[in-house]
């Protein structure tokens, strides 16, 4: 597995840049998630989506301003 955080760029010519990702360090990396046995950085987007869903559920349950107008 290639690490999304470890990368190096090589300038081949003035307009051509080549980017290479380094190998995953697994347990030696600070981003390694022992519980899910994968890189925490890779699961971050899924967790943000779940939080957004929960926030939308809370927003939908909140009373609307129009209910309190006379």
Spatial separation of the C-alpha atoms in residues 23 and 8, rounded to whole Å: 12
Query: Where do the structural domains in the chain lie, given as residue ranges?
Result: 2-62
- Per-residue pLDDT reduced to its tens digit, 30-69: 888 888 888 887 788 888 999 999 999 999 988 877 777 7
Is there a contact between 21 and 2 (Cβ–Cβ < 8 Å)? Answer: yes
Indicate if the pLDDT at residue 12 is higher than 80. no
Phi, psi of 14 (to 5 degrees): -55, -25
59 token code pair: 């927003």
Strand, helix or coil for residue 31: coil
60 token code pair: 């939908």
Alpha helices in the chain (DSSP H): 40-61
pTM of the model: 0.48
């Amino acid at each position: 597995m290639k690490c999304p955080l470890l990368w190096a760029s090589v300038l081949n010519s003035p307009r051509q840049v080549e980017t290479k990702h380094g190998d995953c360090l697994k347990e030696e990396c600070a981003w390694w998630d022992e519980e899910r046995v994968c890189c925490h950085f890779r699961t971050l987007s899924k967790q943000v989506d779940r939080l957004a869903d929960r926030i939308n559920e809370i927003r939908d349950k909140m009373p609307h301003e129009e209910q309190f107008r006379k």
